[in-house]
């Protein structure tokens, strides 16, 4: 029974939202960031990159303090305004491929995260957890929602369908040609209905944002230890989330790119692969796998299909059946010598939106020696791994929708 609550968001004024909304900082090239910072004084990038004002790269705790200063300036100038009443925020995205996503922005409980009512499927890195916790503690707000998914619910769908018939509080289109809509839901009856629907769900699942979730939990633990009158209802006990039905979730694969063959010749590498895979050279023909446990490989100007020899591979649980795990266990570790995928700089990734043409181009350029193509992980696989308390290899899923930063902000 997850506790998914309404909250008072800090939001841009209607006339500024399209100027403020930004993608995550690291998703821009340096040229793109410089252009937006130079030409758009309202971009949220000015808050997360406060050193731009002084033409200086600033990092660590000094940067965190300046982030808070820039944020406070946006509030003082009434570019950001805090809603007077707690509410839920229905958020709709129509992307450039005409995929439509509907969801609800709300406050999710760190206690539910601890008790596994918010289920995880990825490992987190301790350094990134503590770094983001320290960032949150200094700036005092969170501007990026954790993406959670839940079973489709006809009652929730009915409420969302009813609300989106009215005029949206926000409607704006990005340069990526994605159109974003937001409705602020604050009437008591609807708020109570939404809260009760979420309360009846046995669990929700993290789709994207494992580090943000774990950092919020660590932050709450710190504040709890410092607060002798801790009740569990303080704002720091919750984190901002975007909850969407499972049917709306779009999962892409992450393809693998490796810089060398671990000292093997092409022929030696193929012979080692033959022990675990039936291999077919498809030449210049683009090959994308169509079944689980099938992979594509691009090597030395040719595409290959790789079909797992199932008699040679034992599946004991949901993780063993995952294609990213199979690739890791049968090729990356034993043949290519990549023992720790999180740390080995010989390994890189490209998500499925960049397709196999990208894999071919970077292998042909000589930057990488071999590339592997996979099928996307399914929602049922994601849930089964989370339900069994297992964790996927890194970069197993690239998930949409992606929200813009700065549209709703959660303060604690």
* CA pair distance 358, 398, nearest whole angstrom: 16
Is residue 81 within 8 Å of residue 11, measured between CB atoms?
Answer: yes
Average pLDDT in the 313-330 region? 96
Question: Is the confidence at residue 329, as pLDDT, over 90?
Answer: yes
The sheet carrying 347-351 orders its strands as 277-283, 302-308, 294-299, 370-373, 254-258, 347-351
Torsion-angle region of 332 (φ positive above 0: left; ψ -120 to 50: alpha; else: beta):
alpha
Residue 288 lies in a domain: yes
Average pLDDT in the 239-257 region? 96
Confidence at 123, pLDDT banded by 50, 70, 90? confident
Same domain, 74 and 17: yes
Helix (H) or strand (E) holding 216: helix 210-226
Residue 383 lies in a domain: no
Question: Is the confidence at residue 55, as pLDDT, over 80?
Answer: yes
Is residue 37 within 8 Å of residue 43, measured between CB atoms?
Answer: yes
Cα 52 to its chain centre, rounded Å, is 27
Same domain, 210 and 357: no
Residue 194 neighbours by CB distance under 10 Å: 25
Same domain, 242 and 281: no
Residue 392 lies in a domain: no
Same domain, 138 and 265: no
Residue 382 lies in a domain: no
pTM above 0.85, yes or no: yes
Residue 1 pLDDT: 84
Same domain, 153 and 263: no
Question: Is the confidence at residue 125, as pLDDT, over 90?
Answer: no
Residue 70 lies in a domain: yes
In terms of Cβ atoms closer than 10 Å to its own Cβ (0-12, 13-18, 19+), residue 208 is: buried
Same domain, 223 and 281: no
Rg (Cα) of the chain, in Å, rounded? 23
By mean pLDDT, which of 27-36, 221-230, 293-302 is the weakest?
A: 27-36
* CA pair distance 43, 21, nearest whole angstrom: 7
Confidence at 24, pLDDT banded by 50, 70, 90? confident
Number of domains in the chain: 2
Residue 394 pLDDT: 84
Listed in sequence order, the residues at least 6 apart from 375 whose beta carbon sits closer than 8 Å to its beta carbon are 253, 289, 290, 291, 292, 294, 323
Look over the chain and give the mean of its residue pLDDT values, rounded to a whole number: 95
Residue 169: HSE in the Cβ half-sphere, 13 Å Cα cutoff: 18
Backbone torsions φ then ψ of 401, nearest 5 degrees: -85, 160
* DSSP secondary structure of 298-312: EETTEEEEEEE-GGG
Same domain, 168 and 274: no
Distances (CA, A) of 302 to 284, 343, 369, 409: 5, 28, 12, 48
Same domain, 142 and 282: no
Residue 343 pLDDT: 82
Is residue 83 within 8 Å of residue 182, measured between CB atoms?
Answer: no
Question: Is the confidence at residue 354, as pLDDT, over 80?
Answer: no
Same domain, 224 and 297: no
Residue 393 lies in a domain: no
Same domain, 139 and 233: yes
Give 297's strand partners.
304, 372
Model pLDDT for residues 374-386, shown as the tens digit of each residue: 999 999 999 999 9
Residue 381 lies in a domain: no
Tell me how far apart the terminal alpha carbons of the chain are, to the nearest angstrom: 23
Confidence at 345, pLDDT banded by 50, 70, 90? very high
Residue 206 pLDDT: 97
Backbone torsions φ then ψ of 106, nearest 5 degrees: -155, 180
Nearest of 355, 124, 395, 379 to residue 254 by alpha carbon: 395
Model pLDDT for residues 58-117, shown as the tens digit of each residue: 999 999 999 999 999 999 999 999 999 999 999 999 998 899 999 999 999 999 999 999
Residue 351 pLDDT: 87
Question: Is the confidence at residue 25, as pLDDT, over 90?
Answer: no
% pLDDT > 90, the chain: 89
Residue 355 pLDDT: 80
Q: Which domain holds residue 126?
A: 4-251+400-411
Average pLDDT in the 401-406 region? 93
Listed in sequence order, the residues at least 6 apart from 41 whose beta carbon sits closer than 8 Å to its beta carbon are none
Is residue 359 within 8 Å of residue 350, measured between CB atoms?
Answer: yes
* CA pair distance 67, 78, nearest whole angstrom: 17
Residue 391 lies in a domain: no
User: Do β-strands 4-5 and 100-109 pair in parallel, antiparallel, or remain unpaired?
Assistant: antiparallel
Residue 231 neighbours by CB distance under 10 Å: 8
* CA pair distance 393, 377, nearest whole angstrom: 12
Residue 254 pLDDT: 93
Same domain, 192 and 218: yes
Q: Is 72 helix (H, G, I), strand (E, B) or coil?
A: helix
By mean pLDDT, which of 123-127, 176-180, 379-383 is the weakest?
A: 123-127
Question: Is the confidence at residue 119, as pLDDT, over 90?
Answer: yes
Residue 353 pLDDT: 78
Confidence at 31, pLDDT banded by 50, 70, 90? very high
% pLDDT > 70, the chain: 100
Same domain, 150 and 16: yes
């Amino acid at each position: 029974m997850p506790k998914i609550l309404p909250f008072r968001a800090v939001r841009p004024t209607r006339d500024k939202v399209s100027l403020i909304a930004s993608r995550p900082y690291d998703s821009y090239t340096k040229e793109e960031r410089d252009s937006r910072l130079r030409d758009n004084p309202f971009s949220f990038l000015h808050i997360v990159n406060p050193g731009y004002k002084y033409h200086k790269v600033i990092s660590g705790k000094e940067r965190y303090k300046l982030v808070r200063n820039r944020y406070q300036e946006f509030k003082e100038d009434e570019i950001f305004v805090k809603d007077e009443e707690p509410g839920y925020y229905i958020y709709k995205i129509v992307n450039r491929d005409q995929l439509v996503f509907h969801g609800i922005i709300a406050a999710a409980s760190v206690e539910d995260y601890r008790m596994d009512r918010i289920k995880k499927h990825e490992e987190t890195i301790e350094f990134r957890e503590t770094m983001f916790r320290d960032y949150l503690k200094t700036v005092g707000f969170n501007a990026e929602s954790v993406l959670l998914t839940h079973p489709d619910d006809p009652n929730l769908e009915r409420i969302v369908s009813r609300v989106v018939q009215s005029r949206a509080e926000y409607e704006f289109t990005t340069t990526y040609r994605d159109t974003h809509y937001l409705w602020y839901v604050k009437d008591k009856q609807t708020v109570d209905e939404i809260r009760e629907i979420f309360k009846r769900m046995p669990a929700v699942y993290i789709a994207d944002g494992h580090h943000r979730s774990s950092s919020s939990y660590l932050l709450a633990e710190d504040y709890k230890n410092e607060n002798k009158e801790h009740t569990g209802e303080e704002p720091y006990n919750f984190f901002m989330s975007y909850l969407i039905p499972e049917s709306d979730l779009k999962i892409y694969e992450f393809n693998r790119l490796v810089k060398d063959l671990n000292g093997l010749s092409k022929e030696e590498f193929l012979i080692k692969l033959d022990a675990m895979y039936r291999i077919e050279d498809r030449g210049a023909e683009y090959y994308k796998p169509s079944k689980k446990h099938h992979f594509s490989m691009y090597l030395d100007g040719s595409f290959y299909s790789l079909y797992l020899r199932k008699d040679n591979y034992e599946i004991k649980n949901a993780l063993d059946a995952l294609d990213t795990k199979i690739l890791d266990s049968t090729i990356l570790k034993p043949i290519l010598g990549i023992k720790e995928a999180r740390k080995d700089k010989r390994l890189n990734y490209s998500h499925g939106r960049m397709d196999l043409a990208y894999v071919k181009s970077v292998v042909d350029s000589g930057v990488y020696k071999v590339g592997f193509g996979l099928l996307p992980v399914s929602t049922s696989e994601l849930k089964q791994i989370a339900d069994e308390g297992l964790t996927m290899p890194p970069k197993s899923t690239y998930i949409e929708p992606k929200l813009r930063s700065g549209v709703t902000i959660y303060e604690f």
